[in-house]
Structure 1
Amino acid sequence: MRILLAMNGDAGLSRWIEAFRKALPEAEVSTWQADGPALGADVAIVWHPPAELFVRETGLRAVFNLGAGVDGLLKIPTLPSTLPVIRLEDAGMTVQMAEYALHALWEASRSFASYRQAQGEHEWRMLPVTRRHEWPVGVLGMGKVGARVAQAVAEFEYPVAGWSRGGHGLPGIEDFAGAQALDAFLARTRVLINALPLTPDTRDILNRDTFAKLLPGAYVVNVGRGEHLVEEDLLAALASGHVAGATLDVFRTEPLPQEHPFWSHPAITITPHTAARTLRTESVKQIADKIRQLAKGESVSGVVDRPRGY
């Protein structure tokens, strides 16, 4: 088995190579060289790989993406239409997303920003107690990430609903399914957490119309993709007061340009695409196990449905 590792940039590459060689001692693990020859790789493990990889390595049986989101990989024009694309499943990321979402929810519902402001003013300021029924949460996207987020929120007794294309049926979480149910989902939601994959159907879904349908004083949390959010529409919703604040981890341009208005907006919290980091140990084990399954001719989970985009 010949395995080719191709990652954009060299940060941590040597540690990834070492980890895969240790996990798969029976395999030959090599790295992509832009000016090198074809290696006859059976499997590619990639993160933002060059388009030339799929032109040169014509014998690939599968490509593993070092992340849950595959929208960037699917955009590569040289990616063969019949090549199985396999995404990471959880690998320690869903619990990180849940932590992030809970932090953003508590930041909004428990008024922690106001308490920090009061501290800066040396003022002992007691604010009204949080009533959870006044902070209904809605999770857009009920895949592994969204489901874990919704379940974590439910554990803390906030009313929580999930919206997805086909429904989910998780206990304790109100279920909204399909485009026809989206308006009703938004109408009962004050804290909107986006955990959708990026597809043509979900691009720009966080827009002016979506925000207007949320409950007054809404709060938006985006841990999906930057292309989900129409940035000027969020700024307008904040200016109107209908949306009270937002926590954003992903952006259309990353790193976020220094002149971007999000940086200085008092109602927006920014983090640098760090809501869930790829964990090396968990990811290597998951991919190594699946490579062994493929070598035995067995099917594996996590294969991307190309038409759906996830």
Structure 2
Amino acid sequence: MSFVYKADPVRGAEWAEFFARKMPDMPFHIWPDVGDARDVRYLAAWQPPANLMTDFPNLEVLFCTGAGIDHLDLSVVPDAIPIVRMVETGIVSGMVEYVTLAVLSIHRDWKTYLEQQRERDWTAHRVRPASSRRVGVLGLGSLGRAVLPRLQSFGFSCAGWSRFPQQMDGVDCYAGADEMGAFLKRTDILICLVPLTDSTRGILDKRLFDALPRGAAVINVGRGGHLVQDDLLQALNDGTLSYAVVDVCEPEPLPRHHPFWTHPKVTLTPHIASMTQPETAVEAVVANIRRLKEGSPMIGLVDSARGY
């Protein structure tokens, strides 16, 4: 019984070190070295091999090395093989840090002051209290639910939207298509953290931007497929939106001529809002293997019907 890691080999070396401490009796291999393929029971991959079950005929679990599964070619994964997305504290902490930075940079006009510094312009702008700014998180999964309490701690008025009703202390929760309009209407800074599925592809479009208060800002840390780029550019240029922070794009990387690189109302980062951290990722994977052996449900188990 062995484990194979198929993703960034540099991080794989770190995985191997932590895995040896946590499960010293289980052989750990880094792709393309898989040892005896018949012994492989667990595979951690960003993208599994095309001939998954031929390569690993006795595979029991596919662990995704990222928080989402939209990049996976699910056609190569039999229905009988459970897929487990990465739910680990390193990803959560990184996302909380990035979103907090993005919201505060918008709230405190950081881009304006950076531009003024280059122009030697000593103009002070009014400082608004956080309580006057309404933040909304689109998606109340593990990341959205972690981000909101941190933003609440600054005094922002916080709300969240999800497909199904949820509750959070101090957060106005909206659910379903019928409540989307009310959620958007009360949101000055929108953070996209929904999974990318057929129903959410292109959700950040002209119709959504028009439903926000004029001059709202958007932060996309979900997936590039959530955003209709031309609609965002139009909304920024005509004043519908005041600013956008874009961490994820389609394609990645963006072409060098793409207008996001130079647009004065866009902050662009190269898909670094959060990254799987080897130590905490291994802890999460090992804990799930032990749950499986005990007959307990694994954390992060994907519902293929929902797509996440």
TM normalised by structure 1 equals 0.94
Q: Which of residues 262, 265, 288 is equivalent to 1:290? A: 288
Whole-Å separation in 2 of the counterparts to 1:168 and 1:196: 14
- After TM superposition, the structure 1 = structure 2 runs for residues 94-113 of structure 1, keeping only pairs within 5 Å, are 94-113=92-111
Q: Residue by residue, what CA displacement relative to the aligned partner does 1:196-226 show, whole Å, maximum 9, x if unpaired?
A: 1111111110011000000111100011001
- Asked if structure 1 preserves the Cα contact closer than 8 Å seen for 2:244 and 2:267, the reply is yes
Q: How big is the shift at 1:257?
A: 1.9
Q: RMSD value over aligned CA atoms?
A: 1.8
1:48 maps to amino acid: Q
Q: How big is the shift at 1:34?
A: 8.4
**Against the structure 1 CA distance between its residues 19 and 126, is the aligned structure 2 distance closer, same or farther, given a 3 Å change threshold?**
same
- Asked if structure 2 preserves the Cα contact closer than 8 Å seen for 1:163 and 1:176, the reply is yes
1:82 maps to amino acid: A
2:86 maps to amino acid: L
Whole-Å separation in 2 of the counterparts to 1:178 and 1:35: 45
- The residue that corresponds to 1:31 in the other structure is 30
Q: How big is the shift at 1:67?
A: 1.5
- The residue that corresponds to 2:53 in the other structure is 54
Q: How big is the shift at 1:72?
A: 1.5
- The residue that corresponds to 1:41 in the other structure is 40
SS of the counterpart of 2:170?
coil
Whole-Å separation in 2 of the counterparts to 1:45 and 1:10: 12
2:80 maps to amino acid: T
- Asked if structure 1 preserves the Cα contact closer than 8 Å seen for 2:92 and 2:274, the reply is yes
Whole-Å separation in 2 of the counterparts to 1:212 and 1:147: 26
Q: Which of residues 115, 118, 133 is equivalent to 2:116? A: 118
1:113 maps to amino acid: K
**Against the structure 1 CA distance between its residues 34 and 17, is the aligned structure 2 distance closer, same or farther, given a 3 Å change threshold?**
closer
1:50 maps to amino acid: P
**Against the structure 1 CA distance between its residues 137 and 303, is the aligned structure 2 distance closer, same or farther, given a 3 Å change threshold?**
same
- The residue that corresponds to 1:3 in the other structure is 3
88-97 or 207-216, which deviates more:
88-97
- After TM superposition, the structure 1 = structure 2 runs for residues 66-77 of structure 1, keeping only pairs within 5 Å, are 66-73=65-72, 75-77=73-75
161-170 or 94-103, which deviates more:
94-103
TM normalised by structure 2 equals 0.94
Moved over 4 A (4+): 34-37
- The residue that corresponds to 1:272 in the other structure is 270
- Asked if structure 1 preserves the Cα contact closer than 8 Å seen for 2:38 and 2:57, the reply is no
- After TM superposition, the structure 1 = structure 2 runs for residues 190-269 of structure 1, keeping only pairs within 5 Å, are 190-269=188-267
Q: Residue by residue, what CA displacement relative to the aligned partner does 1:1-34 show, whole Å, maximum 9, x if unpaired?
A: 2212212x53333222233233211112223338
- Asked if structure 1 preserves the Cα contact closer than 8 Å seen for 2:42 and 2:60, the reply is yes
Q: Residue by residue, what CA displacement relative to the aligned partner does 1:209-261 show, whole Å, maximum 9, x if unpaired?
A: 00000011110001100100011110111111111110011111112221211
Aligned residues with identical type, % of pairs: 37
SS of the counterpart of 1:151?
helix
SS of the counterpart of 1:44?
strand
124-133 or 26-35, which deviates more:
26-35
Structure 2 unaligned segments of length 5 or more: list them.
none
Note if 1:146 corresponds to 2:144: yes
SS of the counterpart of 1:259?
coil
SS of the counterpart of 1:170?
coil
SS of the counterpart of 1:154?
helix
**Against the structure 1 CA distance between its residues 215 and 278, is the aligned structure 2 distance closer, same or farther, given a 3 Å change threshold?**
same
